[in-house]
Amino acid sequence: MEKLKTNYLGLKLKCPVIVSSSGLTKKIENLIEAEESGAGAIVLKSIFEEQITYESNKAIDQSHNYPEVADYIRNYSKHNSLNEYIQLIKDAKKAVTIPIIASINCTSDLEWGDYAKKIEAAGADALELNMNIFPFNPDKKAADIEEQYYKIVESVKKNTKLPIACKLGKNFTNLPYFIKQLNFRGVNSFVLFNKFFEPLIDINKEEITNSAVLSHENDLKISLRWVAIIKGMMPEIEISASTGIHSANACIQQILAGADTVQLCSVLYRKGISEIKPIISDMIDWMDKKSYKYIDDFRGKLSYENIKDPQMYERFQFIKYFANIE
């Protein structure tokens, strides 16, 4: 797969297809199958700050009659969760030869710097910061929320030399500015976008439930626009496209828009990890038909800066484009 070789996070990948962080990537047998199917890299399942906090608090609640041991239990629970993750990294590095990217899902800057240091020592090749600070506080300014992201990045950067990618959601007032600020703080790689919990209401049971957990092919457009805009405005930025990528067609679209890599998840749940192989094969067939020898020959060809009418990416209102439709 010489023609699919690419670079991401300072790593040389045999192809731009990456297995995204999910429950699939916490099992060693799945990592082996992903490599055998042609994946360029693997992002391990995230270690969640909320989960660690929940587990430690649960342990404390179960020992409420012994308050003097609360701190010991809290620290033991946190370190136990981290040690399990460290072991996953070590086992993954022994099982496969392709790059292993660790992932931490964080909402504060309290301990993640120390965790990042331990993840580096375990042998991870890079680190994905899966950041989501939900803006539900009516008394907090957008700038204050963004400042929390900056503090997390600065804390992690201070404690590890691992290359870092920030995995972001799409709900920022001015995403290009925000990414530029993170880049100023030393982050050059970004994953666009994260898929979050989306609530629905079951009117029969009258309770909150979740919408579809897995993405759909139609979700591709959510990230495609911003991949093209960000790459066009800041060509030095690395982008790993995520969400709604279910086929070679979707992979190619994202690379044409400017993505350096693409991340697969939902399609692997639906069709199996071996689906990576036909996706890569179809990408190569398309490149052969178009006479492209390498990924760089068409990467960013249709980014914001390279198309005749960049407003195609800017239009938000349907009527502006289809003004003559009655």
Spell out the residues 6+ positions from residue 65 whose beta carbon is closer than 8 angstroms to its own: none
Spell out the residues 6+ positions from residue 316 whose beta carbon is closer than 8 angstroms to its own: none
The total number of structural domains in the chain stands at: 1
Per-residue model confidence (pLDDT) at position 42: 98
Could you read off the pLDDT of 263-310 as tens digits, one per residue? 999 999 999 999 999 999 999 999 999 999 999 999 999 998 888 777
Q: Which residue has the higher pLDDT, 88 or 51?
A: 88
For residues 243-272, average pLDDT: 97
Q: Which residue has the higher pLDDT, 170 or 319?
A: 170
- The answer to whether residue 103 is domain-embedded is yes
Q: Which residue has the higher pLDDT, 243 or 323?
A: 243
Q: Please give the C-alpha separations between residue 242 and each of 19, 198, 228, in angstroms, as whole numbers.
A: 10, 17, 13
Residue 320 pLDDT more than 60? no
Could you read off the pLDDT of 194-205 as tens digits, one per residue? 887 778 898 999
Closest CA to 194 of 168, 217, 216: 168
- The answer to whether residue 326 is domain-embedded is no
Query: What share of the chain has pLDDT > 70, as a percent?
Result: 84
Per the structure, the complete domain to which residue 257 belongs is given by 2-321
Residue 260 pLDDT more than 60? yes
Q: How many CB atoms lie within 10 A of CB 143?
A: 8
Q: How confident is the model at residue 60 (pLDDT cuts 50, 70, 90)?
A: very low
Range list of H helices, the chain: 28-36, 49-62, 70-95, 112-121, 142-159, 175-184, 220-233, 248-257, 266-271, 276-289, 311-314, 318-321
Per-residue model confidence (pLDDT) at position 52: 53
Residue 209 pLDDT more than 70? yes
Exposed/middle/buried for residue 230 (C-beta within 10 Å: 0-12, 13-18, 19+):
buried
Per-residue model confidence (pLDDT) at position 38: 98
Residues counted in the chain: 326
Per-residue model confidence (pLDDT) at position 286: 98
CATH number, domain at 86?
3.20.20.70
Q: Are 183 and 237 in contact (CB under 8 A)?
A: yes
- The answer to whether residue 74 is domain-embedded is yes
**Rounded Cα distance, 156 and 138, in Å:** 28
Q: How many CB atoms lie within 10 A of CB 317?
A: 8
- The answer to whether residue 77 is domain-embedded is yes
- The answer to whether residue 105 is domain-embedded is yes
- The answer to whether residue 305 is domain-embedded is yes
Per-residue model confidence (pLDDT) at position 161: 95
Could you read off the pLDDT of 64-82 as tens digits, one per residue? 444 443 343 344 345 567 8
Tell me the average pLDDT of the chain: 86
Window from 50-54, 84-88, 106-110, 305-309 with minimum mean pLDDT: 50-54
Q: What is the reported pTM?
A: 0.88
